[in-house]
């Protein structure tokens, strides 16, 4: 599983959002005080070495783009967390999450609606009219 540092994850967020970006655009995406270009260049090199970003060379400039989808990256991390901290039990994780996240009634109802939709979309389930 690919592990990104907190700084790499933050930079990756900007790359996912932009879909394609030059280093200057990525630096501009950071709040003040912005990191030095050498810092961002180092992060981008490490991320390219890890296989999470690619780039197209235009003269002296590189346009960076993601090689992994955000959903895929976070899905692997959530699944790893469930395996390591909840005895590989999605139900234990869901129980912990719904109790500890201090969700409002509206948020719990929305979560229930999402679960009900997933149940209805399973093969062999009748669609509600």
Check the CA dihedral 67-71-76-78 and report its sign. Answer: positive
pLDDT tens, N- to C-terminus, the chain (129 residues): 788 999 999 999 999 999 999 999 999 999 999 999 999 999 999 999 999 999 999 999 999 999 999 999 988 888 888 888 889 888 888 888 888 888 889 998 998 898 899 899 988 766 555
**Residues 2, 73 contacting (CB under 8 angstroms):** yes
User: What residue numbers bound the domain in which 100 lies?
Assistant: 90-129
- Confirm whether 82 is domain-assigned: no
Residue 62 and residue 14 share a domain: yes
**Residues 11, 59 share a domain:** yes
pTM: 0.71
| The pair of three-digit structure tokens given for residue 17, joined into one six-digit string | 């959002």
Find the CATH number of the domain harbouring 10: 1.10.10.10
Residues 52-67: tens digit of each pLDDT: 999 999 999 999 999 9
Q: Are residues 62 and 100 in the same domain?
A: no
């Amino acid at each position: 599983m690919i592990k990104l540092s907190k700084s790499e994850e933050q930079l990756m967020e900007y790359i996912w959002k932009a879909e394609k970006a030059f280093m200057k655009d990525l630096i501009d995406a950071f709040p003040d005080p912005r990191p030095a270009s050498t810092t961002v260049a180092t992060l981008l090199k490490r991320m390219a070495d890890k296989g999470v970003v690619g780039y197209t060379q235009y003269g002296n400039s590189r346009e960076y783009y993601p090689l992994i989808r955000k959903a895929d990256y976070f899905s692997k991390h959530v699944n790893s967390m469930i395996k390591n901290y909840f005895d590989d039990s999605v139900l234990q994780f869901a129980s912990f999450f719904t109790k500890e996240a201090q969700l409002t009634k509206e948020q719990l109802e929305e979560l229930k609606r999402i679960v009900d939709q997933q149940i209805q979309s399973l093969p062999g389930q009748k669609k509600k009219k």
